Structures are given as C-alpha cells and as structure tokens.
Structure 1
C-alpha cells in the first residue's frame, strides 16, 4: 500500500493489482490497462514462434485468455472511474478464433484438438444451413401454393366463377334435383306468401332522407326553445 501511495505521488506505477477494484485512480487504471495490452501483444508474438512445443503453445494460449479477461476488466474499471469507454473501441484484430467461449491464438489454432473443434464447428454450421434450406424447400413443395404465402399477384388471379355443373357427382345432382322440386312445391302451395314471411316493407331512399331532415329540424327547434 505504501509503495502504491509513493508511486502515485511520484508518477510511478507499480505492478498491476489482482483485483481492478483496488484501483481508485483513473490514470492509474489506464496505465495498468496499457501494461496488460503490452503483455498481450508480446505473448501473441511469442505464440507464433515455430520452435515452440505443443505444451508451450497451450500454456501461452491459457495465459492469453487470462490476459484478455483482465484487459476487459480494466476496460470496465476505467469507464467506472470516469475515463474513456474502451468497451466500444477496444476490439483488436488479434487473429484469434472463438470456440465455446475460449480463444485460440496463433499456432494454438493448429493444435490437433483445436483443429478437431474447428472442423466440428464447421460441420455443425453446414448442417444447420442445410437443414434450414431443406425446411425452406419442403415449405415451398406443399400443396398450399404461393398465393397462401402472399407471393401471387392479385391481378393474375382468375376471379371468374367456375362452372361446377359439369363436375357434380351423381349424389350432388340428386340433391339439387330434390331441392328444385321441393322449392317448386312450396311455391305452388303458397308457403312463400304465408304470414311468417310477410316482413314490413323497407323505406325508400327518399323517405329515409325526409325522415332525417325532419329529425334535424326538430332538434334545431328544441335548441332554439332552450335559449
């Protein structure tokens, strides 16, 4: 604690704290963030060394993932202390790939287990894309037709009433014939003229207009009386 206080007074920044919340000065937080970025850059350069063994590559890749999380934490801390919003501008083209929320940098992408993961992901993406295409094709092969989905122009629709007489089955023909005979019998017996169907005659258009005018006159007269 005394060393950090001395460093603040003389403009010297010590080692990065393990917890970003221990830093209350925005300039100090910016300095720690810069140190983290420098360490990330050095390790990315190192992980591409062709002389590294697979075990060394795995260790470096783990360290880089920890540093990336730490850098993200410093981004949040700087913003909390009133500094610039690095969360919007801190995207870096580091050449890494993300698989299951874990990054692989440089030669780590060439590790056997990582290559299997990447190949499996590509197959899953291809399968998902193929399934979506198959569902689309099945959808368009249904008997509903394009008009059901709104893809057919209304101007091209045939709105003529089809002649279904020629398509009637013998049963339909017999039913229609029965209905015709029954209707003729009812007309002959005077059923249509019975009191049950003697509905009052509807007013004509002129009668309707006259009634509306008379109602308006009555309303105006009542308003004049109330003044």
Structure 2
C-alpha cells in the first residue's frame, strides 16, 4: 500500500493502470479495516481511533458512493473530476416585499397606450374588421335578393350613448404632445391620482378621525357634567 498510494497527478501512467492501482488501494483499505475490527474484538487497541488518518486525508470519497475513494491522479480521471464538482447554489428567492417593489402603474397596464404604438394598431385592426363585416353583410344581402326574397325593413337602431366614433376616439382617447426632442408623445386619459391628491386625501381622512375622536370626548364630558348638576 505504501508503494501504490503516492499516485502523483502527472505520473505518466495510463488511465486503465491508474484505475487498477486505485482499486487495489481501496481493496487494501477494506482489508485493513477488517483487521482493525478483529484486533479490537480480541481485546487489542482500537486502531480506527488511534491509528494514523493519512489515508483518509489523501483519499477523496464521491458523494453517494460510500467507502470507495480516489487517490492522486485517479481524482483527475475522465468522468471522475465531474463527480467532485459542486452544483451551483440556486439563486435566493425574492421576498414578497422585494416583488412588490417592481409593481407600478405599468404592471397594471395603465401606461400601455402612452408609447403611441397600441392605439394606431387597434384603430387599424378595427377598420379591417369593420370592412370585413360590411362585405359579409353585402354578400348576404345580394344572396337574399338573388333568391327573390324581399328585403326586410331595418328597424331603427337604438342610439348607443356609449358609442364613440373614430374621430372622437382619436381626439379624446389620446392627446399628442411634442416633447423636448421634438417627437410626439401620447398620453392616455386614465384616472390615475397624483401624489398631491393622495396626500390631500390622507390629510382629510386624518382630520375626520381626529374630529370624531375629540368631538366624542367633548360630548361625553358635557354629558357627565350635566348628570352631576342634576344629581344623577
């Protein structure tokens, strides 16, 4: 074992020879362990505790392969080096507070129309869909007339107060503003309160809470004073 153990990384031996020597070292280590157990059973010293630990320090055991160790150049054999490489730690999971920091108006879709890209695409798709529906209606109408069916009088459609024409949609749906660089900017009409409005609402709410608190205390004090004067 003393001859086989020092396997330098650059020993010049072939791969199969190094594997054979490493197997021989592990075989001798197992035999040595059996002799240590037998000596202890016969009342001799426990060499497992008091014996030298040099072999354990020089040998490296593969995780999950208990008992078998690799020594010297055997640790650099193909397929063995990868067994000792540690897997990278997974990235730490973000807490709920860290995830909430990334949530803003854009997350809820309030700023989707500000870049001026979606609105023109929606208008173009709307025109295309409207033209397809008109062509379909004309084709069905011509087919009915060709079959000799009389054209039914169309009922007067109810006025939809929520309908928005294309011109009104262009005027009210978005406004164009020229920025500092001369490019047009689109600002969507979304009822998003400003920071000042939020602060004013919080101040009004705080005033109402204080007013209710101190007003109730004043009324209670007046009631107690009246009871005391009346002798209750």
Tell me which protein shows more helix as a share of its residues: 1
Shorter-chain TM range is: 0.3 to 0.5
Q: So what's the TM-score if we normalise by structure 2?
A: 0.41
Q: So what's the TM-score if we normalise by structure 1?
A: 0.42
